Amino acid sequence: MNYIQRGTHTFKMVNIALFAGGFNTFAILWGTQPLLPEIVKEFHISPAVSSLSLSSTTIALAVSMLIAGSLSEVFGRKPVMTISLIVSSILSILTAFSPNFHLLILCRILQGISLAGLPAVAMAYLGEEIDPKSLGMAMGLYISGNSIGGMGGRIISGILTDYFSWHVALAFIGIISLLASLIFWSILPKSTHFKPRKFEIKKLAISLFVQFKEPGLLYLFLTGFLLMGCFVSLYNYIGFELMAPPYSLSQTLVGFIFIVYIVGTFSSTWMGMLADQYGKRKLLMVSLFIVLLGTCITLNSSLSLKIIGIAIFTYGFFAGHSIGSGWVGQIATHDKAQASSLYLFFYYAGSSIGGTVSGAYYSSFGWHGVVSMIVVHTIISIIIVIRLGSISIRALRHSPHRI
């Protein structure tokens, strides 16, 4: 079987397409995050309640990915991803016209459902089409598109909100995303190793839950849950922290804090390549310790050190996500899209639960409360990866790419 190898024109087209798709998805998904203080003011709600504009989207995304991954086993990878991108872009434009908080939440839930197609299927597409020796780099480039999309969405929404309104910001993001969707549709190669299944709900459901029997998959799912809970907790409430005294930063400056995503773009690709060379277990462990270090640095009252801490945290997070998500596709022995969608279900469930629960910690204990929660989650993740390593060495010894 001929797989797409690094250095070829097809490899380049795949990476550009999935980069554009990742940009689209995560610009839309995270575009409201820096707007939480504005949403609090306009709708007269608490910070924890305002986080529902993100949590409602991510939980809808998490659940829908289980369905989207299964549908792609029947209808194909590219069609499901393309429809997802176009519909979510249109919904982003419509969301900008929400007149009240309840309608905003409804629109964001619909966005979460429509956004599911790309993240649920992209990892499976790469796992099927890319040569195993090039997969770490390809997965890293895809994750880098996610990070730039998340960064771009946040920065754009922050600037446009300062100069116009959050309504204008969301509409603009929707227009950019629609253009990215057309690029994705036009240049992504069709699947060559995909074998469609019949639409049999019972068999699809059984194959979904059988994934839990794969050695190590559940540990990766739990790691994704905790890691994403940490990530959203930090970025949801750092805006409140920096817009309050003694920092008193503007919405635009807070939006530019997300430029540290650039380090995530670098780390997801570079650490993915190192994981191909030195082993995923070792590099995932290193990534988690980097997350822990960055989190603790944000406790410093110096603005410059706090931003450095955020950058270090972001570096570790995207490295860990790149390695973990790529590992899922290699451990899974069947129905890889379903395995990927399960990982992302836990991943975004962690976002929804962690992002909202940490709001209560922030309201009660301030930034120290958020940091304490992140530290506990990271330490648990490290323990899980140690356990995952022992399972991998024992049960997956026959495949060095999996360890």
pLDDT digits (tens, 9 = 90+) for 80-118: 899 999 999 999 999 998 889 999 999 999 999 999 888
Residue 215 placed within a domain: yes
| Over residues 14-31, mean pLDDT | 87
Residue 3 placed within a domain: no
Give the residue, 369 or 390, on which the prediction is more confident.
Answer: 369
Residue 117 placed within a domain: yes
pLDDT digits (tens, 9 = 90+) for 200-237: 677 667 766 777 677 678 888 999 999 999 998 998 88
Residue 157 banded pLDDT, cuts 50, 70, 90: confident
* C-alpha separations of 45 from 33, 42, 50, 101, 108 in Å: 15, 8, 6, 9, 17
* C-alpha separations of 337 from 218, 227, 319, 332 in Å: 15, 21, 21, 9
Q: Which of 6-20, 235-249, 258-272 is least confident? A: 258-272
How confident is the model at residue 402, as a pLDDT? Answer: 44
Residue corresponding to tokens 């529902």? 52
Residue 403 placed within a domain: no
CA angle, residues 244, 379, 127, in degrees to nearest 5: 100
Q: With 60 as the cut, is the pLDDT of residue 398 above it? A: no
Q: Which residues is 4 bridged to in the sheet?
A: 130
Q: With 70 as the cut, is the pLDDT of residue 162 above it? A: yes
* CB 29, CB 58: distance < 8 Å: yes
Residue 402 placed within a domain: no
Residue 48 placed within a domain: yes
* Residue 403, C-beta contacts closer than 8 angstroms, at least 6 positions apart: 279, 280, 281, 389, 392, 393, 396, 397
Domain CATH for 37: 1.20.1250.20
Q: With 80 as the cut, is the pLDDT of residue 393 above it? A: no
How confident is the model at residue 400, as a pLDDT? Answer: 47
Q: What is the 3-state secondary structure (H, E, C) of the chain?
A: CCCECCCCHHHHHHHHHHHHHHHHHHHHHHCCHHHHHHHHHHHCCCHHHHCHHHHHHHHHHHHHHHHHHHHHHHHCHHHHHHHHHHHHHHHHHHHCCCCCHHHHHHHHHHHHHHHCHHHHHHHHHHHHHECHHHHHHHHHHHHHHHHHHHHHHHHHHHHHHHHCCHHHHHHHHHHHHHHHHHHHHHHCCCCCCCCCCCCCHHHHHHHHHHHHHCCCHHHHHHHHHHHHHHHHHHHHHHHHHHHCCCCCCCHHHHHHHHHHHHHHHHHHHHHHHHHHHHCHHHHHHHHHHHHHHHHHHCCCCCHHHHHHHHHHHHHHHHHHHHHHHHHHHHHCCCCHHHHHHHHHHHHHHHHHHHHHHHHHHHHHHCHHHHHHHHHHHHHHHHHHHHHHHHHHHHHCCCCHHHC
Q: Which residues is 130 bridged to in the sheet?
A: 4
Angle between helices 367-395 and 336-365 (to 10 degrees): 150
Rounded to two decimals, the pTM is 0.73
Question: How many Å apart are CA 320 and CA 326, to the nearest integer?
Answer: 10
Residue 244 placed within a domain: yes
How confident is the model at residue 1, as a pLDDT? Answer: 61
Residue 4 placed within a domain: no
Question: How many Å apart are CA 335 and CA 210, to the nearest integer?
Answer: 10
| Over residues 69-76, mean pLDDT | 78
Query: In which domain, by residue range, is 81 found?
Result: 9-397
Give the residue, 368 or 75, on which the prediction is more confident.
Answer: 368
Q: How many domains does one find in the chain?
A: 1
Residue corresponding to tokens 């990927």? 340
